[in-house]
Structure 1
Amino acid sequence: MAGDTAGDTVAAEVTELAEVAVAATRYPVAPGYRLNVRSGPGTNYRLVKVLPYGSTVPINCQKPGERVSGPYGTTDIWDNIANGQYVSDAYVLTGSNGYVAVRCS
């Protein structure tokens, strides 16, 4: 029975970690904007897709790139929202004028 208790504890910890990962912070895109997603940190990079109105995005990491003006100011910070997908931080409500995530390598 002691083995069952340890197994239950491990299973509970794994479940808790999975719930934390699913609940990762997502940031809202500025209201009224369909946001272009680029393959790199600038408008000269290939358009990957367009996010619909009311979208939220995760920020995996951030890197400097082209300077862009948007509803949340002018910045050269670009947010990596998925592998090979970047959006300008000027369109994402992070609550900060600076970096809120690690720098992309």
Structure 2
Amino acid sequence: MAMEDVEITGAGETAGAEPLSAEVTRTYPIAPGYSVNVRSGPGTHYRVVRTLPAGSSIPIRCQCPGESVSGPYGTSNIWDNIANAQFVADVYVKTGSDGYVAPRCS
């Protein structure tokens, strides 16, 4: 079983204060051997804002339906929001699921 990358951010507890919750951001690997376009919206008709190099891992903030595309992990209309106005087709990301793995974008 491959180990997932996990980044933990946040502060610990302070004496006499309520504990602060740590925010855990899980990252997912891009399909091996692929460089992936990051687009300004959930479809190939949106402009490319940058390209992720092969071997990258990404956080998924939320997911939304968009244009259906085919890639190394099948065909799907799910797009992963990785940052403000930055989307990657989920079929290029190894999430371990054919469905949603993060909250829906609002």
TM bin (shorter chain): 0.7 to 0.9
Question: Is 2:68 the counterpart of 1:61?
Answer: no
Partner of 2:99: 98
- Distance (Å, rounded) in 2 between the aligned partners of 1:79 and 1:7: 36
How has the CA–CA distance of structure 1 residues 7 and 38 changed in structure 2, closer, same or farther, with 3 Å as cutoff?
closer
**Structure 1 or 2: larger strand share?**
2
1:7: Cα distance to partner?
Answer: 4.5
1:63: Cα distance to partner?
Answer: 0.6
> What's the % identity of the aligned pairs?
61
TM-score, scaled relative to structure 1: 0.82
Amino acid at match of 1:80: N
**Structure 1 or 2: larger helix share?**
1
Partner of 2:17: 10
Amino acid at match of 1:82: A
Structure possessing the higher radius of gyration over alpha carbons? 1
Partner of 1:37: 38
- Distance (Å, rounded) in 2 between the aligned partners of 1:68 and 1:101: 19
1:40: Cα distance to partner?
Answer: 0.2
SS in 1 for 2:91: helix
- Distance (Å, rounded) in 2 between the aligned partners of 1:48 and 1:40: 10
- Distance (Å, rounded) in 1 between the aligned partners of 2:28 and 2:70: 18
**1:51-83 deviation digits (Å, cap 9, x = unpaired):** 111111111111111111111110000000000
TM-score, scaled relative to structure 2: 0.82
